[in-house]
């Protein structure tokens, strides 16, 4: 590698190591603004087709994360991030040049794009955790979340800037511009080193020492970490050989697997992505104004998301995980349920109130369930089942994201909008109860202590 004899600043490594989150966030958010123009340009009225076009990325991501995890163990984190950047750029350009009324073409291309989105969601946190010093892992986990939120905000801003173009050009440029951060990521990652964990696992000890010299303070610290990685890798290999899918649901681990996978699934089924994907259409239905003129609202949501992710970095280790998740879930539930209750009691109440309550929902989601789900999933699974259990949690999370993106337009086409959000509110209540009764506290506890809490008698 060209960087072998050249010092790479640690800030550069952490910035471009987490930059994949920008792409991830941009592609999640961009359809929010593009969809109203695409609907008018192609005269889309079929709710199922609208749902599939929007959710196709999440459908592809279900498989992208699992594939990238396995391939990165064989070829390396860095190489797989580079391949993901190429797929991102290609998928964005192919989306931009969709043939007129090519609904099925666009769905297939966005599924391909989803493979890269899923890969980024798995690869970026793995790469960052393997590069970061132990005392910075929490903050750098927060940096990844901030990058994702920033990518969403960037897509909302681009949608707003481009809304004045003819509708056929507007949505195409919105989707196509995702290629720009993908190209930036590709050239940035070209200069990044491979993760020391991957290098040691494949017996490249000198290269691992070189990489660690960029991001650690002393030779003693470097040698100590190399020994720790060697020991952990051997333990993981032994654990992986012994573990099967059946191991996940043995009496020893069942409780922890249900807790981790359940939190990952609830994060999506609580309806956050319905807001992120469809806020202009939600505003249109609530106020009667055209969705294409409501593109300031996604920017408001994006600013709240980024602010919330920064606030989380400050409070992450000050409060118990369960406290934050229960509080967040309760306020999120009220934000969905109160508009329906108010509408029942006062049918002539200003429909704009639903938008205010959705902003409250996003604020609490961004500080609690959005980042804490992945902190908890990273802490709760014992070494013996960590790989399989984390993959299962990620898959359920993407299945929830895909289902919400697909079903929301179908649900709003067949029932009042406040009733749809009331259903999500009930799911939020169930999520808070699930955390209270089924999820152990992980803050400040060792992995061994957490594992003991999972041992249940048959």
pLDDT in tens, 386-416: 767 887 888 888 899 999 989 998 998 898 8
Q: How confident is the model at residue 322 (pLDDT cuts 50, 70, 90)?
A: very high
pLDDT at 134: 63
Predicted model pTM: 0.82
pLDDT at 53: 94
- Whether residue 449 has pLDDT greater than 70: no
Q: Find the length of the chain.
A: 458
The whole-chain average pLDDT of the chain stands at: 85
Are the C-beta atoms of 173 and 329 separated by less than 8 Å?
no
Alpha-helical segments (H) within 76-136: 77-96, 103-131
Higher-confidence residue of 269 and 71: namely 269
Average pLDDT score over residue span 290-317: 83
List the CATH code of the domain at 8-192: 1.20.1250.20
- Rounded to whole angstroms, the maximal C-alpha distance in the chain is 71
Residues 6+ apart with CB under 8 A from 437: none
Cα distance between residue 93 and residue 57, in whole Å: 15
63's tokens: 């498989």
List the CATH code of the domain at 245-458: 1.20.1250.20
pLDDT at 457: 39
Average pLDDT score over residue span 179-205: 89
pLDDT at 187: 94
Are the C-beta atoms of 241 and 247 separated by less than 8 Å?
no
Are the C-beta atoms of 44 and 207 separated by less than 8 Å?
no
Average pLDDT score over residue span 54-77: 84
At 100 the three-state DSSP class reads: coil
Average pLDDT score over residue span 108-124: 88
Average pLDDT score over residue span 308-333: 90
Q: Which residues of 379-405 are buried (b: 16+ CB within 10 A; e: fewer)?
A: bbbbbbbbbbbbebbbbbbbbbbbbbb
C-alpha dihedral (218, 223, 227, 233), degrees to nearest 10:
70
- C-alpha radius of gyration, the chain, whole number: 22
Cα distance between residue 208 and residue 222, in whole Å: 9
- Whether residue 3 has pLDDT greater than 60: no
Cα distance between residue 355 and residue 358, in whole Å: 5
Q: How confident is the model at residue 120 (pLDDT cuts 50, 70, 90)?
A: confident
- Whether residue 65 has pLDDT greater than 80: no
pLDDT digits (tens, 9 = 90+) for 68-83: 877 887 888 889 999 9
362's tokens: 């996003």
- Whether residue 197 has pLDDT greater than 50: yes
Q: How confident is the model at residue 113 (pLDDT cuts 50, 70, 90)?
A: very high
Q: How far is CA 211 from CA 120, 205, 279, 319, in A?
A: 22, 10, 44, 34
pLDDT digits (tens, 9 = 90+) for 27-55: 888 888 899 899 999 999 899 999 999 99
pLDDT digits (tens, 9 = 90+) for 219-238: 888 888 888 778 777 776 66
Higher-confidence residue of 121 and 61: namely 61
Are the C-beta atoms of 27 and 118 separated by less than 8 Å?
no
pLDDT at 402: 92
pLDDT at 4: 46
Average pLDDT score over residue span 101-118: 93
Cα distance between residue 278 and residue 276, in whole Å: 6
Residues of the chain with CATH 1.20.1250.20: 8-192, 245-458
- Whether residue 454 has pLDDT greater than 70: no
Least confident of 152-156, 187-191, 202-206, 293-297: 293-297
- Whether residue 335 has pLDDT greater than 60: yes
CB atoms within 10 A of CB 53: 26
């Amino acid at each position: 590698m060209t960087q072998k004899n050249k010092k790479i600043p640690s800030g550069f490594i952490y910035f471009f190591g987490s930059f994949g989150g920008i792409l991830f966030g941009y592609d999640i958010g961009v359809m929010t603004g593009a969809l109203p123009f695409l609907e008018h340009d192609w005269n889309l009225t079929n709710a199922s087709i609208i749902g599939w076009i929007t959710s196709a990325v999440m459908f592809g991501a279900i498989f992208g994360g699992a594939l990238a995890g396995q391939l990165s163990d064989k070829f390396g984190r860095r190489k797989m991030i580079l391949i993901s950047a190429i797929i991102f750029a290609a998928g964005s350009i192919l989306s931009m040049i969709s043939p007129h009324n090519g609904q099925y073409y666009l769905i297939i291309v966005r599924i391909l794009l989803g493979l890269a989105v899923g890969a980024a969601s798995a690869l970026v946190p793995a790469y960052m955790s393997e590069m970061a010093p132990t005392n910075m892992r929490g903050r750098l986990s927060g940096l990844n979340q901030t990058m994702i939120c920033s990518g969403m905000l960037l897509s909302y801003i681009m949608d707003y800037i481009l809304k004045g173009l003819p509708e056929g050009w507007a949505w195409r440029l919105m989707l196509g511009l995702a290629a720009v951060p993908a190209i930036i990521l590709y050239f940035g990652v070209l200069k990044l080193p491979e993760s020391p964990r991957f290098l040691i696992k494949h017996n490249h000890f000198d290269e691992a020492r070189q990489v660690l010299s960029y991001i650690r303070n002393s030779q003693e610290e470097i040698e100590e970490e190399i020994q720790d990685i060697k020991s952990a890798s051997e333990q993981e290999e032994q654990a992986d050989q012994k573990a099967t899918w059946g191991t996940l649901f043995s009496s020893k681990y069942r409780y922890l697997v249900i807790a981790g996978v359940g939190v990952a699934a609830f994060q999506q089924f609580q309806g956050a992505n319905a807001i992120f994907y469809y806020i202009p259409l939600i505003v249109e239905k609530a106020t009667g104004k055209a969705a294409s003129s409501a593109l300031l609202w996604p920017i408001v949501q994006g600013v709240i998301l980024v602010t919330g992710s920064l606030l989380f970095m400050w409070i992450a280790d000050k409060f118990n995980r369960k406290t934050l998740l229960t509080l967040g879930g309760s306020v999120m539930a009220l934000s969905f349920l109160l508009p329906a209750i108010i509408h029942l009691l006062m049918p002539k109440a200003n429909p704009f109130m639903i938008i205010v309550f959705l902003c409250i929902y996003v604020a609490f989601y961004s500080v609690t369930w959005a980042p804490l789900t992945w902190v908890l999933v990273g802490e709760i699974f014992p070494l013996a089942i960590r790989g399989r259990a984390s993959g299962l949690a990620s898959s359920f999370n993407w299945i929830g994201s895909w289902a919400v993106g697909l079903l929301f337009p179908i649900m709003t086409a067949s029932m009042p909008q406040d009733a749809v959000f009331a259903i999500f509110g009930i799911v939020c209540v169930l999520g808070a109860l699930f955390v209270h009764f089924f999820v152990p506290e992980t803050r400040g506890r060792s992995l061994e202590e957490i594992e003991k809490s999972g041992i249940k008698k048959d």
